[in-house]
Chain A
Amino acid sequence: QKEVEQDPGPLSVPEGAIVSLNCTYSNSAFQYFMWYRQYSRKGPELLMYTYSSGNKEDGRFTAQVDKSSKYISLFIRDSQPSDSATYLCAMMKTSYDKVIFGPGTSLSVIP
C-alpha cells in the first residue's frame, strides 16, 4: 500500500461547478497536509497547508483534514478554466520532515 493515494482522474467539470479532490493516507503520524497545483511543464505551486485536523479556507479553496479517517480534501468553488491543472496532495510528520506527495489528480474545467 502506498503511503498517499489519490484518484488520478482525469476529472472533467463544467465552469462554475464545485470540485472535490481527495487523498487518503496510511501513516497516522502525518501532521502537516498541503495541496499543490501544477500546470503542465511547470513546477508545483503551493495552494494551502493545514496543521492537524480541521478546515481552512482561502478564497475559492477550502481544505479539510479528517485524521480519524486518514482522509483529506480540497474543494474548489466556482471553478474556472484557469483551474485546469494537476492537483497534488502532500504531507509530512513534522515541520522538519521530508514531504510525501500523492500521484496527483488531473482536473479540466470546461468553459
Chain B
Amino acid sequence: DAGVTQSPTHLIKTRGQQVTLRCSPKSGHDTVSWYQQALGQGPQFIFQYYEEEERQRGNFPDRFSGHQFPNYSSELNVNALLLGDSALYLCASSLWTDSYEQYFGPGTRLTVT
C-alpha cells in the first residue's frame, strides 16, 4: 500500500514564474492538505481539499491555488513566484472525518532564484 507520494522531489524556478506541485494521497484517504515549511520552522497550513472543494485556507495570498481531482489527488499552483516562496512543500492526506490523523508525503523542495 503506497503512502502519500509527491512530485517532483526538487524544483528550481526563477522569480515571476509559475509552478505546479502534485500529490497522490494514501489509499483510502479523501482529504488532502498542503503545507509550506521554511527551514527551521514548523509546517504552515496553506489549504485543504475535500470533495474537490477548498474547505479551509490558511494565511496565504491568492497566488497560491489548488485543485483536487475525482481520484482524490491534488495539485498546488503558485503564480508569480517570489524568493520567499523557497521552502519545502508538504502534502498530507487523511479522512475528512479524522483530519487529526494526517499522513505526510516526503515533500517537494522548491528553490526560487
Contacts and interface: CB of A to CB of B under 8 A. Distances in A.
Interface of A: 4, 6, 8, 32, 34, 36, 42-46, 49, 51, 88, 90, 92, 95-104
B41 A104 contact: yes
27 contacts: A6-B42, A32-B100, A34-B100, A42-B106, A42-B107, A43-B92, A43-B104, A43-B106, A43-B107, A44-B43, A44-B90, A46-B101, A46-B102, A46-B103, A49-B101, A88-B42, A90-B42, A95-B97, A95-B98, A97-B99, A98-B56, A99-B33, A101-B35, A101-B45, A103-B40, A104-B40, A104-B42
Interface of B: 4, 33, 35, 40-45, 48, 55-56, 58, 90, 92, 96-107
Contacts of A36: 104
A46 B98 CA distance: 13
Shortest 6 CB-CB distances between A and B: which pairs? A43-B104, A101-B42, A32-B100, A98-B56, A98-B45, A103-B42
Given A43-B105, A43-B106, A44-B104, A96 B99 contact: yes
Nearest to A103: B42
Contact of B96 (A43, A96, A104): A96
Taking each of A4, A95, A98, which has the highest tally of chain B beta carbons within 10 Å of its own beta carbon? A98
A46 B43 CA distance: 13
Contacts of B56: 97-98
Contacts of B58: 98
Most buried by A among B4, B92, B97: B92
A42 B40 CA distance: 13
B22 to A, nearest CB: 15
A108 to B, nearest CB: 15
